[in-house]
Amino acid sequence: MEAGLVTPILVRFSGIQKTYDGEHLVVKHLDLDIKKGEFITLLGPSGSGKTTTLMMLAGFEVPTQGEIYLADRPIKNMPPHKRDIGMVFQNYALFPHLTIEENVAFPLSVRKTSKAETQERVKAALRMIKMETLAQRRPGQLSGGQQQRVALARALVFNPQLVLMDEPLGALDKRLREQMQLEIKQLHETMGITVVYVTHDQSEALTMSDRIAVFNDGIVQQIDRPDALYERPVNSFVANFVGENNVLSGTVETTDKDYCRVLLAAGGTVMARAVNVSGAGAATSLSVRPERVAIVPDGASSDGANRLPAKVQNTIYLGDHALAVLDVAGNTEFMVKLQPGAHDRLRSGESVFISFRPEDCLALDPV
Amino acid sequence: MTAASLTGADVKTNVSLKRRLKRAERARQIKALALVLPLLLFLLFTFAGPIAGMLWHAVDDHEVRQVLPQTVAALAGWDGKDVPDEKAYAALASDIQAARAAGTIAIAAKRLNYAQNGFRTILTSTARNLKAMPEPGTARETLGKINPAWRDRATWTTIRDASGPVTSFYLLGALDLVRNADGAIVAAPPDQAIYRDVFGRTFLISLGVTVLCLVLGFPVAYLLATLPPGRSNLLMIFVLLPFWTSLLVRTCAWIVLLQSKGVVNDSLHWLGIIDEPLRLIYNRFGVCVAMTHVLLPFMILPLYSSMKAISPAYMRAAASLGASPITAFLRIYMPQTLPGIGAGSLLVFILALGYYITPALVGGAADQMISYFIALYTTETANWGLASALGAVLLLATVLLALVYGKLVQGQQVTGGMKN
C-alpha cells in the first residue's frame, strides 16, 4: 500500500513467539507492523492468539521470543505502566471505589498532572462521551454502555500514543454494540489516535477497521482492508471466518493462468479463480458468497457463468432479505441470498439451478 | 385481549390482587419463620436470656431489702444528715432478730461488706450480741453499745444505699467509681480502683493482637487470593488447621515452646545467641503471641473473601493507565480490601476482648484481661453483681464498636460498586 510508505510505523512485532506451558505455542510466529493513526483489528476465534498478542503489546505478557517495538523503541522488558498505552478492557475494569470523575482523573493523577489541567482535561473527556452530569456517580450506578464510555474516556484522557481495546463491546447488547462501534470509530477519526482492537465478531471488525489481521492457530492468516479480506480471502479459513460463505469441495482438473477448472466431488465441473491451489490434481475447497449466487430456471449457460443443479431445502426470512437453503453438489446448507419478494416463490423440494460467475468463485486450500 | 380491556380487568381485580399477593407472601414468610424457629428459640434460651439475666444482675440489689425489710422501710424517709432516729434502730434490731432466726444474716452481711469493708463483722457481732429485743426507746443506745459503728452516720448510709431494689453500685464499681456518704459519685480509693486499668489493658492487648493479625494476615490472604486454585487450597488447609485443634492444646503448645526451658529458648541458647533464657511467657509478649496465633484465621478469612472479589483486571487497568505497582496497590487494591480489613479487625478485636483461657494460661498477673476478673467474681467470690457489671460494660463497649463498624460498612457499600 502506498500509504504505508509515508505513514510512520508505530508498533512493530518482529518474530514474536509465545508459549505459556513450554509445549504449545499460542502465538507461533508474528510479524506485524501497525501504522500511526491506524485502526487495526485482531480478529480470530478464541484461542487463536489475538488476545495474547494484545497482552504482549500492553506488557502483561512477555514474548517467549522476538521483540516488540513501540515508536522504534524495544519494549519487551518495559513494565506496562511505562509504555504509555491506554487500554479498554472487556469488563470495563472501572475502579468501583472511585467516582466517574476520579476514574477518569486517575491516569492524570498518577502522572502528577497539575490540578487545574487535570480538571480541565477530565471535563473535556466527560464532555466527549456526553457524561458530564454523571461525574459524581460510582461505576456500579451506571449501565453497561455508560461504563464502557467511561472506560474509553479514561483510556484516552492522557493522550496515549496507542489505545488497545480487548473485546470492549462483548458484554453489551446488539443495538448498543452497534451504536458504540460507530462512536468508537468516530472518536478514532476525530482524535487521530492509533487503535489496536481485538474481537471475535467479524462484522464488528468489518465495520470499524482500517485493516484487519485474521488470527487462527497462532498465525496471522491475512492482513488486509475489510473489503479486500471479504472479496479476496487468501485461504479457506479467512473465507469462512469473514462473512457468510458456501463451500464446495472438489479436485483441480486444469489450470489456466488465474482460473482453473474444478471437478466437484459430487460430479459436475466449475470454473473458479485459482487463489490458493497448487496445480492440477490438487484437492480444493471452492468458496462462493451467498449474494453472488442467482437462482435460475434452467441449466443452460449462455454467459460463461457456472450453472449447477440444486434442490430447495427451505427458505429463511430475515426481514431485509431472505435466504434460500439449497442442496448443491452434496452441500445441504448452501445459502443463496434472495431478492426481496423472491422467497415465497420457492417451494421445498423444488429443483432449480444456481448460477455464479467464475470470478466470484474462489478455489482455495481444502478445508 | 386488547390493551383497553386489560386495563379494565386490572382495575377490577386490583384489590383482590393485592390480597392474593399478601396471602402468597404470608405463606412464604410463615415457612421462612418455621425454618429459623428452632434456632431462634435456642438463641432466646441460651443467648438472649442469659444476657438479659446478666444485665439484670448488674443492677439488681435485693439482699438487704430481703433480710432487713423494716430497716429499709424506716430509712426511706431519712434525710441522711445525721444518724437516723430511734425508729430505725428499733427496726434494725427487730430485723436482725428475725434474720438471725431465719439464718439469713450472712446474705445481707456479704452484700454490705462489698460496699464497706468490715461491715460483715459489724452485722454478725451485733446479731451475736443482741440477745433480746431492746426495751422500747433504748434501741439506739443498745446497738451503739454493742458496736460503736452504729453511732456512725456512714454505717447507715451504707445500708440505705444498698436497700435496692436496683443499684448503680456495681456498674460504678466496674468503672472505679463509688458513691460517698452524701450520694455523690467520686473516684474509688486507689487500692480498689483496678478495673479501668484492666479495661485499658484489655483494649490495649486486643488492639495489639488485632494489628499483629492484620500485619501477618494481609500477605497470607493476598497469596491465598492470587495463587492458582490447587496451591491456594493447600494453603487454606494450613490456615484452617488451627481450627481443628482445641484452643487449650494450642495454648499449651505455646507454653512448651516459649517457657524458659522451652524449645525457643533452648534453640537460641544452643545457637549461642543468648546466655540466659529469655522471658517469653507469663508476660504480655506471650499473651500477644498466643492470642495472635489463635485469632489469625479470623482475620485471614474475611480478608481473603474481600480480596477474592477483586478482579485482577483492576490492577492491569491501573498499570495500563500509568500506575506503578506500588501506586496501583495503594490506590486501587487496598481501598477495595477495606471492608475485609474492617470485618477481620472487628472480629478479631471483639473476640480478643472476651479472651479468657489464653491470657489466663500464658499471661502473668499483670496481663489478666477483664474476662479473668469476670470469671473470678462469678466462680470464686460469687460476687455476681460485680461480675455482671463488668460484663455489661464489656458488652456495651463491644456493641458500640459493632455499631461504628456497621456505619463504616454502610458507607463502604455506597462507595462500592460493581464487582466484575
**ipTM attached to this prediction:** 0.81
Of A86, A91, A154, the CB nearest to B420: A91
Neighbouring C-beta atoms of residue B159, cutoff 10 Å: 24
Q: Which of B322, B331, B419 sits opposite A81 (nearest CB)?
A: B322
- What is the rounded average pLDDT for all residues in chain B? 87
| CA nearest neighbour of A253 among A284, A276, A275, A232 | A284
Q: Is A168 on the interface with B (CB under 8 A)?
A: no
Fold type of domain B195-415 = MetI-like fold (1.10.3720)
Report pLDDT digits (tens) over B374-395. 999 998 888 999 999 999 999 9
pLDDT, tens only, B177-220: 988 877 788 898 888 888 999 999 999 999 999 999 999 999 99
Q: Where in chain B is the domain with CATH 1.10.3720.10?
A: 195-415
- pLDDT over 90 percentage in chain A: 47
* Band of pLDDT at residue A130, cut at 50, 70 and 90: confident
Q: What are phi and psi of A227, to 5 degrees?
A: -65, -40
Nearest by CB: B320 against A80, A92, A140: A80
Spatial distance between the Cα atoms of A45 and A27, rounded to a whole number of angstroms: 13
Instruction: Please name every residue paired with A222 in a beta bridge, in sequence order, or none if there are none.
Output: A214
Write the residue in A79, A82, A89 that is nearest to B317 by C-beta: A89
C-alpha to C-alpha distance for A256 and A123, rounded to whole angstroms = 63
Q: Are A286 and A247 in contact (CB under 8 A)?
A: yes
**pLDDT band at B2; cut points 50, 70, 90:** very low
Q: Is A21 on the interface with B (CB under 8 A)?
A: no
The pLDDT tens digits of the residues spanning B275-284 come to 888 888 889 9
Q: What is the mean pLDDT of residues B306-324?
A: 92
N- to C-terminal Cα distance for chain B? Answer: 43
Rounded to a whole number of angstroms, the distance from the CA of A206 to the nearest CA of chain B is: 27
pLDDT of residue A1: 43
Nearest CA in chain A to B411: A97
The number of CA neighbours under 13 Å toward the Cβ of A332 is 3
Alpha helix locations (H) across chain A?
Answer: 3-6, 50-58, 100-110, 115-128, 144-156, 174-191, 202-208, 226-231, 236-241
pLDDT value for B411: 61
Which of B320, B329, B332, B336 to probe the A interface (max A CBs under 10 A)?
A: B320
Q: A interface mutation test: which of B315, B321, B419 has the most A CBs within 10 A?
A: B321
Cβ atoms of B133 and B94 closer than 8 Å: yes
In angstroms, the separation between the Cα of residue A13 and the nearest Cα of chain B is 19
The pLDDT assigned to A275 comes to 86
pLDDT at position B86: 87
Distance CA B280, CA B362 (A): 9
Burial class (CB in 10 A: 0-12, 13-18, 19+), B346: buried
- When computed from its CA atoms, the radius of gyration of chain B, rounded to whole angstroms, is 32
Please judge whether B322 and A110 are an interchain contact, meaning their C-beta atoms are less than 8 angstroms apart.
yes
Residue B327's alpha-carbon distances to A60, A81, A110, B319, B416, in angstroms, are: 17, 10, 8, 9, 20
> CB distance from A139 to chain B under 8 Å?
yes
CB contact under 8 A, B415 and A139: no
Side chain identity, residue A128: M
- pLDDT at position B76 is 87
Across B265-285, average pLDDT? 89
Amino acid at position B81, single letter = K
What is the β-pairing status of strands A195-199 and A211-216? Answer: unpaired
Query: Over the stretch A283-310, which tens digit does the pLDDT of each residue have?
Result: 899 999 999 998 887 767 667 788 888 8
Q: Is the pLDDT of residue B304 over 80?
A: yes
Q: Is A147 on the interface with B (CB under 8 A)?
A: yes
Q: pLDDT grade, residue A4 (50/70/90)?
A: very low
Which of helix, strand or coil describes residue A104? helix
pLDDT at residue B348 tops 50: yes
What residues are paired with A164 via a beta bridge?
Answer: A87, A196
In chain A, % of residues over pLDDT 70 = 97
All cell numbers assigned to B74: 424506716
**pTM for the full model?**
0.77
Q: Taking Cα atoms as reference points, which of A305, A278, A304, A285 lies closest to residue A294?
A: A305
- b/e map B117-133, b = 16+ CB within 10 Å: eebbebbbebbeebeee
The region, left, alpha or beta by phi > 0 then psi within -120 to 50, assigned to residue A349 is left
A85: nearest CB among B311, B314, B320: B320
Name B189's Cβ contacts closer than 8 Å, sequence gap at least 6.
B178
Domains and CATH numbers, chain A: 3-236 (3.40.50.300), 244-364 (2.40.50.100)
Residue A354 burial (10 A CB sphere; 0-12, 13-18, 19+): buried
